[in-house]
Amino acid sequence: MELCSFIVTSMSTFSNKMLAGVLLIALSGSMKAFSQDPEQQNTLTLTEVWKRTAAYNKQLQMQQLKVESADERVKTAKSEKLPEVSANGMYGRFSNFALFEDGLLKAPTQIPIEKKGTYKVSGEAYFNLYNGGKLNREITAATTESELATEQKHLTESEIRFKAAAYYLDIYRNEQYESVMLQDIAEREKELEEIRHLLQNGVVLKSDVLRAELKLSKQKMTLLEIRNSLKIATQRLNIMMGTPDTAIIHVAADSLDQVSQQRTYEDFLQDAYTHSFEFKISEKETKLSELKLQQVKANILPKVGLFAEYNYSFPQILMYPYSFNPYGLGMAGVKASLPISQLYLNKHRKAEAKINLMRQEIEHSDTQDRVREDVRSAYLRYTEAITRIQVAKENIAQAQENFRIVNNTYFNQLSLLTDLLDAETQLLQSRFDLTTAQVTAQLQYYQLLKATGNL
């Protein structure tokens, strides 16, 4: 019996050791897998997010192609200053010479031609000297269009950065909400246990327990909503970066800028007039309208250029006497032309161009007003959010003190549960308000940078 007991004990001890060893190996393997899981290490700064969205975003890729296309148009416009050179060649066969001696209704007399072949090779060149300045304006217009495409790309990049920042801050806000809510739920569960003990001692009513349980149930539902919002914001940012929808993103703690009120509204407004992409785009469009008007006005100006040509032909039928021999003839000189008909045909084109320029100038003025309005609005909301941060911090201190007082009075049976629940709600809301104020201040700061063209 003792031997059997010893064997059973030994086997039990051996089994426990094996089980412990297996669990240890499995745990170490899972910890290793956890440490190597890229999703668990996907902590990104906002700068890294911007780099990924810029590399993946298709709108930016299209804008970049527009910039490259505009650069090629500039090169094309500059190449128009080069001489125009052309070469032509022709070869043909003559038929017999039909001579209608008795009229068209009678059969003609066929006179054979001794040499039926004919050919011509020629080269021409033209170099523009003056055409009303159109070539220079075309180069200027192409350069302006290239600059316009670049500013449009910068505007798109700024809008994408702001959108990515909004999703990034949304993730940060919901992570903070989740942390605050988990802490609050843990405190409410502990509080519920204390209320149940009071019920067992006959100090409180059953309704207090039910109300506390109902409050805890609502908090857990709120936690679920927060986690779902976190997943939605994460998916949206993953889509912008071109990563899988389910990839986990953690906000780097030190990635949020410290906003301040060191600069005035006038400073930001001056920045906007200098760097705002919308303002620059409007300026370029106005300049293009001015160039178009100048081009239309140049339609009535003369065109002067140098030309040269050389022909090598067979047979010689240019001058009498004709000859069945090859000949060469060259010519060079100055060519000038004056579009007289444009004096009356160009009138309405010029009027249209003037109207378009006036419309563009009004639009540019409207853009200036809109930029000033955006900067003013963003600046006020930005300063308001900074003030709200300080108010939220003070509210937390007041709510904590209020909760401490009500909590003590309730458990000493000097106040009602409704007072305690209200104090808890105010404390939780004040913590949410602080996170919201911090995120709003950061987002309004980026909105202000976007309005001034510095994002």
pLDDT at 110: 80
Among 19-23, 135-139, 224-228, 441-445, name the one with the lowest average pLDDT: 19-23
What's the rounded Cα separation, in Å, for the pair 250 and 195? Answer: 37
Burial code (b: 16+ CB inside 10 Å, e: under 16) for 420-443 equals bbebbbbbbebbbbbbbbbbbbbb
List the one residue out of 413, 450, 102 whose CA is nearest residue 278: 450
Cα torsion 329, 332, 338, 341 to 10°: value is 20
User: DSSP string of 179-206?
Assistant: HHHHHHHHHHHHHHHHHHHHHHTTSS-H
Q: Which residues contact 310 (CB under 8 A, 6 or more apart)?
A: 122, 123, 328, 329, 330, 331
Residue 36: the pLDDT is 38
374-384 per-position pLDDT tens digit: 999 999 999 99
Q: Which two tokens stand for residue 394?
A: 């003070």
Long-range contacts for 46-49 (Cβ within 8 Å, ≥24 apart)? 46/164, 46/165, 46/168, 46/252, 46/255, 46/256, 47/255, 49/164, 49/165, 49/168, 49/237, 49/241
Contact predicate 150/136, CB 8 Å: no
Q: Is the preceding omega at residue 315 within 30 degrees of 0, hence cis?
A: yes
- Residue count of the chain: 455
Domain ranges of the chain: 41-82+131-302+338-452
Residue owning tokens 């009498």: 320
d(C-alpha 189, C-alpha 167), whole Å: 32
Q: What is this structure's pTM?
A: 0.75
Is residue 154 within 8 A of residue 342, CB to CB? The reply is no
pLDDT at site 33: 36
* 3-state class (DSSP) for residue 253: coil
pLDDT digits (tens, 9 = 90+) for 347-370: 899 999 999 999 999 999 999 999
Residue 117, strand partner residues: 93
Confidence of residue 26 (pLDDT cuts 50, 70, 90): very low
Q: Among all chains, which residue has been given the structure tokens 């045909």?
A: 345
Mean pLDDT, the chain, rounded, equals: 83
Cα 30 to chain centroid, rounded: 40
What class has domain 41-82+131-302+338-452?
mainly alpha
Band of residue 69 on the pLDDT scale cut at 50, 70, 90: very high
Strands of 84-93's sheet, edge to edge?
84-93, 117-130, 303-314, 327-337
Is residue 336 a contact partner of residue 126, using CB atoms and an 8 Å limit?
A: no
Using the predicted structure, report yes or no on whether residue 179 has a pLDDT greater than 50.
yes
Max CA distance (Å), the chain: 149
Q: What is the band of 255 on the pLDDT scale with cuts at 50, 70, 90?
A: low
Beta-carbon contacts of 21 under 8 Å, excluding residues fewer than 6 positions away, are none
Query: Can you give the pLDDT at residue 260?
Result: 59
* Strands 43-44 and 109-111, bridge-based pairing: unpaired
Task: List, for residues 200-218, the tens digit of each pLDDT value.
Answer: 888 778 888 888 889 889 9
Give whole-number Cα distances, 128 to 72, 88, 302, in Å: 22, 21, 11
Could you give the CA distance from residue 176 to residue 153 in angstroms, rounded to a whole number?
Answer: 34
Name the amino acid, one letter, at 269: L
CA dist 329 → 93, 216, 325 (Å): 22, 104, 13
Give the number of other CB atoms < 10 A from CB of residue 110. 11
Q: Which amino acid is at 404?
A: R
Q: Coil, strand or helix: which one is 116?
A: coil
CB–CB of 196/211 below 8 Å? no
Confidence of residue 39 (pLDDT cuts 50, 70, 90): very low
